[in-house]
Every structure is written in C-alpha cells, then in structure tokens.
C-alpha cells in the first residue's frame, strides 16, 4: 500500500489570494484561480495562505474561507490541498490544526514560531513542538525552511522531526545549496520517508539532481505548465532536460523576484490579472505594490517571453534560425 508521503511528491502552487478593489477577499476570482491551477495535470496540489498567498496579512477567519474554497477545488480535481498556518505557541497550533481537520485540508505547512529564532535555541524545543502536534492532532505536517538563517532547522533536527509518522514533507527554501545538500544527504542516510520539496527557485532543477521529490515555489503561479514540465523531468531523472527548462524560465523568475522581493506578490498578481484569472491586482498593506510604469514594463516583458515560449528573445531567435537552416 502506498505511503501517505507519496501524495506529497510533485509541483505544489502556493497561489496568490485575490482581493477586490476595496481589499476584501475576492471569492469569485479565488474560485476561478484555484480551479484553474487544480485542472493543470502537472500540478500535484495547492498551498493556501503561504507568503505568496499573503497569509501574514490575512485574518484567521479570512484564511479559513480561503482554505474552504481552495480545498473544494483541489478535492474536485483529485489534488492535494495544504493549508499554511503561522502559530506562535503549541496550544495555538493544536487549536488551528484541529479546526482544519473539519474542512478540505490534506496537510498543514507551519511557519516556524518566533521563539525558534530567539537567540541560540535548543533543538529539543523544535523537536518537542512537533512531537506535541503529532500526538495531539491528525493532519499530515509540512516543515518550512524559510530563507532566514536565524530560523533554520539544521539537518540533524530535520531528521529527528522526520521520524514522526505524520511529518510528511519539508519545503526547503533556505536558498543555501550547501545546507540543502547536507539535509537531503542526511535524510537519505536516515532512510527517511520525508518528501523534500524545493522552494529554492534559484536552483530548482539542481534540487532534483540532489534528491528533491518535488517543488513548492511561488514563481510557479506564472508559466505554471513550464514549471510542471521541469518537475516531471526532474522526478524522472532527466536532469539535463530539467536544467534546460530552468534556463528557459530564468527570465520569468528574474521578472517576478527582482528587488524589492517583497513585491513579488504584486508582480504575480499583475500577470494573473492580465491573463484574466483575477479581477484586480490589489495587495494588502503594508505592501506598496508596483507602479504603473513597472507594471507596464513587466507586462511588456511577460508578453515577449510568452510569445517565445518563455525563452529569452535571443535564444528563441537562434532556435528559429537553426530551424530555418535545418
């Protein structure tokens, strides 16, 4: 019988949360967007209210509504739905997870607690937090390695947490290829079932060569089918093909995650609004959003990349030239 861990292989989309012009949740666009992503064959699942989904600026009630809408879309399509929470204590995490057991949620990704970054933290504190959740709740758990060093889970601590039966996956987004490699290798030595989902958009393709089982990346809100093709190639061991697709997508990544990176959400929303998937590109304060001039430059570049199937223009021209010669 297949292990529950195997459901957490593949490409997961931490999709944006659409808002109306007045800043309220846009349920119509949310429904359309989650159904759209769920219908893409290469998408394994949806992730609600992560950083790209503006989880940190949503109320608990708003998050619950988002979980319900996305969970329904994912279930209808036979896809996995992961809800993201950001608790600050064990009791809060237990209460949130018990509530999530009553709605269409297949797993919970947990932002590291603030206490985890408070000076030199005993690894036992981190391990005990997850032991308590494993004992008191039922839902599968996804660890989240955020790209902030003070929050990092070291490889040994990851392995200890991975031994808990309902800890099923690990979004590794340290952006540190050395730490990523050390963690994956130690998990292999430990014969862990934990699924490693790369969140490192700088080296997605290389992550599969190292040992990733999938990807959980915000940039995949844009050119999703291309990112899906990269994931399929990577999990099939076609590492050179995956690397070639990543090179094609490099310009998209740079467009979305240029500085200031915090406004990546606004850039993604501008593209999805242009594509007709959401009604507005509104973001929540304190995010500033992007200027009209940046939006125009972004969409001009996006249209050019889309025409060239997301290859840089010079690469596409060279490909056409070679095709003509051949």
For residue 98, what pLDDT is reported? Answer: 97
Whole-prediction pTM value?
Answer: 0.93
Backbone phi and psi for residue 19, each to the nearest 5 degrees, phi listed first: -120, 155
pLDDT in tens, 243-258: 999 999 999 999 999 9
| The pLDDT value given to residue 291 | 95
| CATH dotted code for 4-238 | 3.20.20.70
How many CA atoms does the CB half-sphere of 4 hold within 13 Å? 13
Q: Is the Cβ–Cβ distance between 249 and 223 less than 8 Å?
A: yes
8 Å CB contact between 42 and 231: yes
Which parts of the chain have pLDDT scores under 50? 1, 316-326
- Assigned token pair, 74: 């994912």
Question: What pLDDT does 263 receive?
Answer: 95
The pLDDT value given to residue 311: 77
Query: For 165-186, how does the pLDDT look when each residue is reduced to its tens digit (9 = 90+)?
Result: 999 999 999 999 999 999 999 9
Contacts of 288 by beta carbon, 8 Å cutoff, 6+ apart: 263, 266
- pLDDT value for 310: 82
pLDDT at position 3, please? 76
Q: Is the peptide bond before 3 cis (omega within 30 degrees of 0)?
A: no
């Amino acid at each position: 019988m297949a292990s529950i861990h195997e459901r957490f292989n593949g490409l997961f989309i931490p999709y944006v949360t659409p808002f109306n012009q007045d800043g309220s949740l846009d349920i119509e666009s949310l429904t359309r967007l989650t159904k759209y992503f769920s219908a893409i064959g290469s998408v394994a699942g949806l992730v609600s209210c992560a950083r790209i989904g503006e989880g940190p600026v949503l109320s608990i009630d708003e998050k619950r509504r988002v979980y319900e809408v996305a969970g329904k879309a994912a279930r209808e399509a036979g896809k996995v739905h992961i809800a993201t929470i950001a608790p600050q204590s064990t009791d809060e995490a237990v209460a949130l997870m018990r509530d999530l057991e009553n709605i269409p949620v297949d797993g919970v990704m947990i932002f590291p607690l603030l206490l985890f970054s408070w000076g030199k933290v005993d690894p036992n504190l981190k391990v005990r937090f997850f032991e308590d959740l494993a004992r008191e709740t039922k839902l599968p758990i996804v660890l989240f390695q955020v790209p902030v060093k003070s929050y990092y889970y070291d490889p040994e601590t990851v392995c200890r947490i991975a031994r808990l039966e309902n800890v099923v996956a690990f979004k590794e987004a340290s952006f540190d290829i050395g730490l990523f490699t050390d963690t994956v290798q130690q998990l292999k030595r430990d014969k862990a079932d934990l699924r490693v989902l790369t969140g490192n958009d700088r080296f997605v393709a290389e992550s599969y060569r190292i040992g990733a089982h999938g990807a959980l990346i915000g940039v995949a809100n844009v050119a999703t089918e291309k990112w899906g093709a990269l994931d399929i190639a990577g999990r099939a061991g076609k590492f050179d093909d995956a690397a070639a697709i990543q090179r094609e997508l490099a310009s998209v990544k740079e467009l979305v995650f240029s500085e200031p990176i915090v406004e990546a959400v606004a850039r993604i929303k501008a593209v999805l609004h242009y594509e007709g998937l959401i009604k507005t590109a509104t973001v929540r304060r304190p995010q500033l959003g992007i200027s009209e001039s940046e939006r125009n430059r972004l969409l001009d570049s996006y249209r050019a990349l889309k025409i060239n199937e997301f290859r840089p223009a010079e690469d596409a021209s060279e490909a056409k030239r070679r095709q003509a010669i051949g």
